[in-house]
């Protein structure tokens, strides 16, 4: 089973993917681990796209059942195998943005409010994240781009909308995959 889960930053993709992977005993792959190089200030050094695509393709090919979390629709052709199901998570923007503020503080602490460079990074990130729904042109990864991608793919899609509990999201995904014949 090959499951792809994606949505806006802060929509619960990683939380849902990790919990589902644990429940199903599948591997979880997070696109951020491939997109970004490890660095002192996380999420600031992009990995070379060819290296990124080669790494993720190899890792997915070497695992029978997996869950891939994150937005990968702009990574190029022939990188990913066919997905058995694509799960799109959407939550109201106000809730999502509050989650992101909380998450960033939990990850980094007061430095995002005290260090000038980190303040700017935090503010830029929040502005980029808000553009998912506002679509002012800051982010190419936005609601409309995701909708366009969903309309262009030939994989089964499960859209989960609203501020649902983690357990409810897991239940909906499992119900969906139990209805599908396995390849």
The per-residue pLDDT for range 41-79, each reduced to its tens digit, is 888 899 999 999 999 999 999 999 999 999 999 998 889
Mean pLDDT of the chain: 93
Q: What is the pLDDT of residues 73-109, one digit of tens each?
A: 999 888 999 999 999 999 999 999 999 999 999 989 9
Residue with tokens 């702009």: 74
Banded model confidence at residue 130, pLDDT cuts 50, 70, 90: very high
Banded model confidence at residue 180, pLDDT cuts 50, 70, 90: low
Q: Is residue 132 part of a domain?
A: no
Query: How far apart are the C-alpha atoms of 126 and 101, rounded to whole Å?
Result: 8
Query: How far apart are the C-alpha atoms of 83 and 86, rounded to whole Å?
Result: 7
Where residue 174 sits, what CATH number does that domain have?
Answer: 3.40.50.300
Compute the C-alpha angle 154/160/165, nearest 5°.
150
The answer to whether 33 and 51 are in contact (CB under 8 A) is no
Average pLDDT over residues 141-154: 94
Query: How far apart are the C-alpha atoms of 119 and 72, rounded to whole Å?
Result: 28
Residue 88 CA, distance from chain mean position: 9
Q: Is residue 101 part of a domain?
A: no
Q: Is residue 119 part of a domain?
A: no
Q: Is residue 16 part of a domain?
A: yes
User: Side-chain half-sphere of 66: how many Cα atoms within 13 Å?
Assistant: 20
The model carries a pTM of 0.90
Number of domains in the chain: 1
Q: Is residue 145 part of a domain?
A: yes
Q: Is residue 38 part of a domain?
A: yes
pLDDT at 61: 95
Banded model confidence at residue 136, pLDDT cuts 50, 70, 90: confident
Q: Is residue 133 part of a domain?
A: no
Q: Is residue 31 part of a domain?
A: yes
Task: Write out the residue range of the structural domain in which residue 13 sits.
Answer: 2-91+141-179
pLDDT at 139 over 90: no
Query: How far apart are the C-alpha atoms of 17 and 32, rounded to whole Å?
Result: 13
CA of 99: how far to CAs of 6, 10, 72, 78, 127, in Å?
Answer: 16, 6, 22, 34, 14
Q: How many CB atoms lie within 10 A of CB 169?
A: 21
The answer to whether 92 and 163 are in contact (CB under 8 A) is yes
Please name which of 80, 94, 93 lies closest in space to residue 142, comparing C-alpha atoms. 93
Please name which of 34, 38, 75 lies closest in space to residue 58, comparing C-alpha atoms. 34
């Amino acid at each position: 089973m090959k499951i792809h889960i994606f949505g806006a930053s802060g929509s619960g993709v990683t939380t849902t993917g990790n919990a589902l992977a644990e429940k199903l005993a599948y591997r979880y792959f997070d696109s951020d681990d491939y997109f970004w190089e490890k660095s002192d200030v996380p999420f600031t050094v992009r990995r070379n796209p060819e290296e990124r695509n080669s790494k993720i393709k190899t890792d997915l090919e070497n695992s029978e059942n997996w869950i891939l979390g994150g937005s990968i629709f702009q990574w190029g052709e022939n990188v990913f195998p066919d997905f058995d199901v694509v799960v799109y998570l959407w939550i109201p923007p106000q809730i999502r943005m509050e989650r992101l503020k909380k998450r960033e503080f939990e990850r980094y602490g007061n430095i995002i409010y005290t260090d000038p460079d980190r303040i700017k990074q935090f503010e830029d990130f929040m502005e980029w994240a808000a553009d998912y729904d506002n679509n002012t042109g800051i982010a190419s990864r936005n609601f409309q781009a995701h909708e366009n991608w969903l309309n262009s793919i030939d994989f089964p899609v499960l859209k989960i909308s609203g501020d649902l509990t983690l357990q409810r999201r897991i239940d909906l995904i499992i119900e969906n995959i139990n209805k599908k014949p396995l390849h």
